[in-house]
Structure 1
C-alpha cells in the first residue's frame, strides 16, 4: 500500500475508490467521491456540493505552478473540511506553505524519505501573513 503524509503523520493511503475528473462527477453522488483538480480546473468546476467529496487531490505538473496553492485556499474558504491532497511534482521545501493554504495530505510523485519530509511542516515557528491556517496576520496577534 502506498504511503503519504496526512495530518502530520506518515500513513498508508486508505482511499479505496476511483479518483474522478470534475466532469465525471454526478451532481448528486450516492456516496462520497474523490476528485482530482488539474491546473486550469479550479474548485468551481466541481459539479456537486463540497459535502459530497471524500477526497480532493490537486495535481502539480511542476513545482513552479502556483495555481494549486490557490485551489486549496478556495476550497477551505468555501467550507470544505475534508482531505486536500497535493499530488505530482511539488517539493519538500513547499510543504510548510502548502499546509498554510489548506493542504493536509501530501503524495510525492517520486521516492522521498517521508519521515524526513515531516520536519518541513514545521520549518517556521511563526508566520507574518494571514492564511487559511491562521486568518490573522502577526501584527494583529501581538
Structure 2
C-alpha cells in the first residue's frame, strides 16, 4: 500500500502482524496488547518493531525503555468520525515525548490529513495512490494557523 512519508508518496515497508499470527521477519507492527504481553521477544526481533494503537488503548503505562524499542506507532482509525486518535497523537508527542514515526492507518479521509499532521502524525497510509495524491495536496490546505500545534 502506498504511504505519504516526509510529504512524499512512497511504498510501505512495514507489515502488521495480528495477535493470533506468528511473528514475521522484517519491520513489523503489533497491537499494544501484544507488545505488553510479548515485549521480551519483540525487543529481540531482527527487524524494527512498532505498535498499533486503537482508540481505547492508552500508552500511559509504557516506559522510556519501551519507547526506545518502538520505531513506529500506528494509529488505527476505525471510522473517520472517531477523533480520539487525534488526542492520542498529541499525547504521544507531548506527554510521552515520542519522537519516532506516527502513522495514521484505517478509515480516515484526506480532509483530515492537515489536522492530523498538526497534532504530530507524520505518515499516512492509504489503500490507493489516488487517495495519497489528494491527501498530499491537503497538507497545504491552510497557510494561516490560529492555534498552537506539535509541529
- TM-score by length of structure 1 reads 0.83
Question: 1:86 — aligned with what?
Answer: 104
Contact 2:13 2:27 in 1 (8 A): no
Give, in whole Å, the separation in 2 of the partners of 1:119 and 1:12: 18
Q: For 1:15-57, what per-residue CA distance to the aligned partner results, in whole angstroms no more than 9, with x for missing partners? A: 2433111122216823542100011002225465212111110
Normalised to the residue count of structure 2, the TM-score between the two structures is 0.78
Partner in structure 2 of residue 138 of structure 1: none
SS in 2 for 1:49: helix
5+ residue gaps, structure 2, are 15-25
Q: State the match for 1:40 in structure 2.
A: 56
Q: What is the alpha-carbon root mean square deviation over aligned residues?
A: 1.9
Partner of 2:136: 118
Aligned residue pairs total 131
Aligned partner of 1:97 in structure 2 is 115
Q: What runs of 5+ residues in structure 1 fail to find an aligned partner?
A: 134-142
Whether 1:24 aligns to 2:34 is yes
Instruction: Say whether 1:76 aligns with 2:93.
Output: yes
Distance (Å, rounded) in 2 between the aligned partners of 1:106 and 1:42: 21
Residues 1:63 and 2:62 are matched in the alignment:
no
In structure 1, distance between residues paired with 2:50 and 2:62: 11
CA distance in 1, matches of 2:116, 2:12: 19
- Secondary structure of the 2:103 match is strand
Asked whether the equivalents of residues 110 and 134 of structure 2 are also in contact (C-alpha less than 8 Å), the reply is no
Deviation of residue 92 (structure 1)? 0.6
Instruction: Tell me the residue number matched to 1:139.
Output: none
Deviation at 1:76, TM superposition (A): 0.7
